């Protein structure tokens, strides 16, 4: 890849086909579709809930007493076991999603998580708690591997980027609920102080079990299984109030068929090896794997799972204060992530990634300096500044704080959180989307397991010096983003995925879709008319 971005020029091919006579919130079927999408988005909340819950439980005396005050490797295992469960499930999740449908995969995963959270709530030993958390991770993989795919494949074209970006953003909703739940149960003197948060973790799965039957199946999946009539009806019902002859629906339908047929022609065998066979797929996987590791190896693991250890290191030891700060941090990040997620199609992915990584370098460096000052001189002011820098850093990592006046003024907060899932999903063609996303999640779990074992040990041994490792790593991230991230805004899902295979492939898919949808002739006529007008103007000027 070159130094600069492959910028998508012009507007998306479907823009002129969208009926803008009334806003989407006045369209009953689009409202219904977005409600179903919201049901899918809360899959991410389950994951966010887990991280924040484990963070909060470590501040609860009752939980520590119940599990013999876990530290070091034991504490690392309690946190990491969920991701170990995820790792075990990753090889199987794509086959369920591709073979039985996106909805079936979500249903299966949600059912497993309900059973697992019940076991976690009833745990009376470390072994039982660890086993339950393993099962939570195993079930979460099936749901989380299919939910964002279904979101991006059923969303209205002009809302696809924002809807998919909200998936990872909703991580914070679960995190907020967990943080304030553990804060609220802190004063309960019995084991219910940690059992209540454990039980609430299963609520999103209960909602999905009850309502997933009403969510539409992916039109892409239906077409891939030869169910083209059902796919067309699904697109028409939600995107055009049931009108199967609507130009937008016809264009979407034909583009989906063209893209899937092209994938079949290029690669009849879409096994795991197909992820790395072609140059385009290798470029995709390089970015996807890098983003997965960047998303967890940017110092955020310290803030997410071991925030109380950081607090203790800087002199904030009161459990109530720790829980309160944890809750406020999550609300702060959630608000910024929502706002930024809505900007992803306006500003562009590449610019957001650049601002995010640069913002992380700035604020993590400031946090390292303050942590160093406190550790060496025990300055209370420096310790409090660390908390401020954590706020700004998490805003930088998950919302990229861009400082024009260092340490004083933050002029812009742009989210990193929405992009890692939405960008990874959109650059993968349908044939390898489920498997490629499974690799993305697999890489995240690997990085999380490493973090959850290494971070508490390294922080205990190295103290503030451990922060320097992340300063250098963040610099590498910024360099990678600059050289390899490609701009994808203003493209349909099929065109975005094909972008990595060259402009000719993108044009081929668009032209085939336009031709079969009956709008190619219209476009050609308009072009001929424009050329005729320009010729007439030229003749007048010459005469």
Q: Which of 102, 166, 107, 113 is nearest to 136 (CA)?
A: 113
What is the C-alpha end-to-end distance of the chain, expressed in Å?
49
CA–CA gap between residue 538 and residue 536 (Å, rounded): 5
Judged by DSSP in three states, 239 sits in helix
139 burial level (CB within 10 Å; 0-12, 13-18, 19+): buried
Please give the torsion angle defined by the CA atoms of residues 461, 464, 466 and 467, in that order, rounded to the nearest 10 degrees.
Answer: 160
* Residue located via tokens 């898919």: 509
CA–CA gap between residue 524 and residue 285 (Å, rounded): 37
* Residue located via tokens 């899937």: 260
- CA 471 vs CA 7, 115, 314, 368: distances in Å: 29, 41, 19, 8
Q: Which of 304, 322, 362 is nearest to 171 (CA)?
A: 304
| 115 Cβ neighbours under 8 A, 6+ residues apart | 135, 139
20 burial level (CB within 10 Å; 0-12, 13-18, 19+): exposed
Q: Which token pair is 200?
A: 């609430």
Q: Residue 402 forms beta bridges with which residues?
A: 412
Q: What is the pLDDT along the chain (543 residues), one digit of tens a residue?
A: 444 444 444 445 567 777 777 788 888 999 999 999 999 999 998 888 887 788 778 778 888 888 878 776 777 788 778 888 988 999 999 999 999 999 999 999 999 999 999 999 998 888 898 899 999 999 999 999 999 999 999 999 888 888 998 998 888 888 888 878 887 887 888 888 889 999 999 999 999 999 999 999 999 999 999 999 999 999 999 999 999 989 889 888 988 888 888 766 655 556 788 888 888 889 999 999 999 998 888 776 666 555 665 566 556 667 777 667 766 777 777 887 787 778 888 888 888 888 888 888 887 787 777 767 766 655 555 444 545 555 555 444 333 322 322 232 232 334 467 788 889 988 888 888 889 999 998 898 888 777 767 777 777 777 778 888 888 988 999 999 999 998 888 777 777 777 787 665 666 566 665 666 666 544 444 444 344 444 443 343 333
CA–CA gap between residue 130 and residue 543 (Å, rounded): 86
Q: Which of 515, 499, 302, 269 is nearest to 394 (CA)?
A: 302
Q: Are 45 and 170 in contact (CB under 8 A)?
A: yes
Q: Residue 403 forms beta bridges with which residues?
A: 410
- The upper half-sphere exposure of residue 273, i.e. CA atoms within 13 Å in the direction of its Cβ, equals 3
CA–CA gap between residue 469 and residue 199 (Å, rounded): 37
**pTM of the full structure:** 0.78
Q: Residue 401 forms beta bridges with which residues?
A: 413
Q: Which token pair is 53?
A: 């819950």
């Amino acid at each position: 890849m070159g130094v600069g971005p492959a910028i998508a020029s012009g507007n998306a091919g479907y823009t002129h086909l969208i009926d803008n006579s009334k806003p989407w919130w006045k369209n009953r079927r689009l409202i219904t579709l977005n409600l179903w999408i919201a049901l899918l988005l809360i899959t991410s909340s389950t994951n966010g809930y887990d991280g924040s819950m484990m963070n909060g439980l470590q501040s609860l005396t009752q939980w520590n007493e119940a599990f013999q005050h876990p530290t070091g490797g034991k504490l690392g295992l309690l946190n990491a076991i969920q991701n170990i469960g995820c790792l075990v499930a990753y090889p199987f999740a794509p086959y369920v999603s591709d073979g039985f449908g996106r909805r079936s995969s979500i249903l299966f995963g949600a059912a497993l998580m309900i059973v697992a959270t019940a076991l976690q709530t009833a745990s009376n030993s470390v072994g039982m708690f660890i086993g339950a958390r393993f099962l939570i991770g195993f079930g979460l993989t099936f749901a989380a591997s299919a939910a964002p795919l279904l979101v991006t494949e059923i969303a209205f074209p002009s809302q696809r980027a924002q809807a998919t970006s909200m998936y990872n953003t909703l991580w914070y909703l679960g995190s907020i609920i967990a943080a304030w739940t553990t804060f609220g149960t802190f004063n309960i003197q019995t084991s219910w102080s940690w059992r209540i948060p454990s039980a609430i973790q299963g609520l999103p799965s209960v909602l999905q079990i009850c309502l997933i039957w009403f969510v539409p199946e992916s039109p892409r999946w239906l077409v891939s299984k030869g169910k083209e009539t059902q796919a067309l009806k699904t697109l028409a019902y939600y995107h055009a109030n049931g009108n199967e002859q609507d130009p937008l629906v016809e264009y979407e339908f034909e583009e989906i068929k063209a893209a899937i047929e092209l994938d079949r022609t290029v690669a009849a065998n879409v096994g795991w090896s197909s992820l790395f066979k072609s140059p385009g797929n290798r470029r995709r996987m390089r970015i996807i794997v890098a983003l997965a590791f960047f998303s967890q190896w940017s110092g955020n693991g310290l803030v997410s799972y071991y925030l109380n250890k950081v607090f203790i290191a800087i002199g904030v030891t009161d459990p109530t204060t720790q829980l309160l700060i944890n809750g406020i941090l999550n609300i702060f990040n959630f608000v910024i992530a929502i706002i930024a997620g809505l900007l992803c199609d306006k500003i562009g992915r590449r610019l957001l990634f650049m601002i995010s990584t640069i913002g992380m370098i700035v604020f993590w460096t400031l946090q390292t300096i303050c942590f160093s000052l406190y550790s060496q001189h025990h300055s209370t002011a420096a310790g409090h500044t660390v908390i401020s820098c954590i706020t700004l850093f998490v805003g930088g990592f998950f919302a990229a704080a861009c400082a024009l006046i260092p340490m004083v003024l933050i002029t812009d907060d742009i989210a990193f959180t929405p992009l890692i899932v939405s960008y990874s999903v959109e650059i993968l063609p349908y044939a390898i989307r489920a498997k490629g996303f499974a690799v993305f999640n697999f890489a995240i779990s690997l990085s999380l397991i490493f973090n959850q074992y290494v971070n508490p040990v390294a922080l205990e041994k190295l103290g503030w010096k451990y922060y320097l490792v992340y300063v250098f790593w963040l610099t590498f991230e910024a360099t990678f983003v600059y050289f390899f991230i490609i701009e994808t805004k203003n493209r349909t899902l099929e065109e975005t995925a094909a972008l990595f295979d060259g402009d000719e492939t993108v044009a081929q898919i668009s032209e085939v879709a336009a031709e079969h949808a009956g709008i190619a002739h219209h476009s050609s006529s308009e072009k001929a008319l424009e050329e005729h007008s320009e010729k007439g103007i030229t003749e007048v000027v010459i005469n």
